[in-house]
Amino acid sequence: MSTSAPSGPTGPAVPPGLERPHFVGIGGAGMSGIAKILAQRGARVAGSDARESETAQALRGLGVTVHIGHDAAHLAPDASAVVVSSAIREQNPELAAARTRGLPVVHRSDALAALMAGARTIAVAGTHGKTTTTSMLAVSLAALGLDPSYAIGGDLDAPGSNAHHGGGDIFVAEADESDRSFHAYSPEVALVLNVELDHHANYASMEEIYESFATFAGRIRPGGTLVVSADQSGAVELTRRLRGREGLRIVTVGEAADADVRITAIVPRGLTSEVTVEIEGRPLDFTVSVPGRHYASNAAAALAAGIAAGAPAAELAAALAKYTGVKRRLQPKGEAGGVQVIDSYAHHPTEMTADLEAIRGAAGAGRVLVVFQPHLFSRTKELGVEMGGALALADASLVLDIYPAREDPLPGVTSAIIIDAARAAGADTTAVHEREAVADVVAGMAKRGDLVLTMGAGDVTDLGPQILARLGD
């Protein structure tokens, strides 16, 4: 494919140096989105991932070369750069080969920042809710015919739907604070949903978190807008610290009485919610097609950010109903034997609590049964007790071993921390060390009318189909 396509509203079609990029870990949510946009713009993209996936297949459908497994031989002789995320270790053979050859090594965030060049960027940040809120913005702005480009940390409805190279001048991006990646962006509108301590391997204190989010806000273009929660305590403190900054407009959104965009009503309707917000003294009603108060709050934040970027309020509010969910964000997986199975990406105590409260409202008289897989040793060490407390909201839960992702084990840090805390909070919690046993255990517990929630950021999502198959036996 040609790399000499004309410049569009987002700057050069292919950023210099990324004409023939090689992605290490191309199947990841963030990496695959950047690879997709580059391919759509005309770059000759290649990469590798640890295992075969639907995402890899979707990328191949765009002409991307995807290798399975990591090997220095996968790095093409004419590769122009190697793109990595913070999860890639220096020992990776492809990264090591790039270093030996003197190839530019580009962090994922810098590659995304290059794609945003020249665009009117809306960057969505926060400890929780980024993927959902970014998706709400992308879907609703697209429904208005604005054809935004977007890069999201999860698929909307099909593998590969996490990113798009649009013809419009707006670029909506999920801005990741976990490794300070969001410091690379210079948005016109920045949205901060919440500010909490997480990613303990990178942040030692809340003060470091505040400093990091303040740096992100400082990257907003002159005359730009910070849209920030008026309800969450960390976001409120961030707002206090940023008030008075020259050239920064701040718009607060939430249920607080002094919010600039005030949520005045959230009325649950089964698996949807009817929301009313007040903007400049005028009420505006819209529907959110996913359950739960926190999703309604995300939608109000998306509305405020879209308005800040110039979208008409009433039309944008109506368009928000077009959003029907993101994979792994309370995603229905099916029903068997009268038991529903839903998948949740929640892995932080705040997220777990929010999703369990939302599901409780949708379960009716049925029980809520949770299969929880902790994510990261560092997070479990710091927040395991709070995770256990969140599980007390379920009628019963199974807790798997910790999913390590990029981390090595920590002495004394196991799922027992969570299980002990859950039981201390009165929860009915069982340890399951063999993933292969989960479907049988759930089938022995579940009764018609119950709802099973697979929860966590690791491979617990793969258990949903197994549970459904066993329930259907």
Q: Helical H runs in 61-181?
A: 93-101, 108-116, 130-143
Residue pLDDT, tens place only, 285-298: 999 988 788 889 99
Q: What is the chain's alpha carbon radius of gyration, rounded to the nearest angstrom?
A: 22
CA-wise closest residue to 170 among 153, 189, 183, 156: 189
pLDDT of 440 over the 50 cut: yes
What predicted TM-score, i.e. pTM, was given to this entire model? 0.78
Hey, what CATH topology would domain 119-322 get? UDP-N-acetylmuramoyl-L-alanine:D-glutamate ligase (3.40.1190)
CATH 3.40.50.720 location in the chain: 21-106
pLDDT of 7 over the 50 cut: no
CA-wise closest residue to 295 among 285, 307, 287: 287
Is 134 marked as a binding-site residue?
no
Least reliable range by pLDDT among 21-35, 45-59, 158-172, 303-317? 158-172
Q: Give whole-number Cα distances, 350 to 194, 267, 357, 391, 442, in Å.
A: 10, 21, 11, 11, 25
Is 337 marked as a binding-site residue?
no
**The pLDDT value given to residue 3:** 31
**The pLDDT value given to residue 190:** 98
Average pLDDT estimate for 50-78: 95
Is 461 marked as a binding-site residue?
no
CA-wise closest residue to 467 among 382, 398, 386: 398
- Sorting pLDDT into bands at 50, 70 and 90, what band is 1? very low
Is 129 marked as a binding-site residue?
yes
With vertex at residue 294, the alpha carbon angle to CA 289 and CA 296, rounded to the nearest 5 degrees, is 40
Active site residues: 130-131, 174
CA-wise closest residue to 35 among 64, 13, 12: 64
Bin 398: left if φ > 0, else alpha if -120 < ψ < 50, else beta.
Answer: beta
Average pLDDT estimate for 313-327: 87
pLDDT of 2 over the 50 cut: no
Structure tokens at 292: 């739960």
Q: Give whole-number Cα distances, 265 to 255, 276, 305, 340, 397, in Å.
A: 8, 5, 19, 29, 32
pLDDT of 225 over the 60 cut: yes
DSSP state string for 418-440: HHHHHHHTT--EEE---GGGHHH
Is 63 marked as a binding-site residue?
no
- With pLDDT > 70 as the criterion, what percentage of the chain qualifies? 94
Task: Identify which has the larger pLDDT, 13 or 72.
Answer: 72
Least reliable range by pLDDT among 9-13, 56-60, 67-71? 9-13
Structure tokens at 16: 């210099």
Adjacent-strand bridge partners of 191: 124, 227
Asked if residue 123 lies in contact with residue 100, where contact means CB atoms within 8 angstroms, the answer is no
- Sorting pLDDT into bands at 50, 70 and 90, what band is 200? low
CATH annotation of 329-471: 3.90.190.20
**The pLDDT value given to residue 178:** 83
pLDDT of 384 over the 90 cut: yes
**The pLDDT value given to residue 13:** 87
What's the CATH superfamily of 21-106?
NAD(P)-binding Rossmann-like Domain (3.40.50.720)
Is 128 marked as a binding-site residue?
yes
Residue pLDDT, tens place only, 396-412: 999 999 999 879 999 99
Least reliable range by pLDDT among 87-101, 171-185, 228-242, 325-339? 325-339
Asked if residue 434 lies in contact with residue 402, where contact means CB atoms within 8 angstroms, the answer is no
Alpha carbon distance 355, 232 (integer Å): 17
CATH 3.90.190.20 location in the chain: 329-471
| Mean model confidence pLDDT for the chain | 91
- With pLDDT > 90 as the criterion, what percentage of the chain qualifies? 76
Residue pLDDT, tens place only, 143-174: 999 999 999 986 665 555 889 999 999 999 99
**The pLDDT value given to residue 156:** 65
pLDDT of 25 over the 80 cut: yes
CATH 3.40.1190.10 location in the chain: 119-322
Is 127 marked as a binding-site residue?
yes
**The pLDDT value given to residue 244:** 87
CA-wise closest residue to 418 among 372, 459, 466: 372
Average pLDDT estimate for 435-460: 94
With vertex at residue 447, the alpha carbon angle to CA 439 and CA 397, rounded to the nearest 5 degrees, is 55
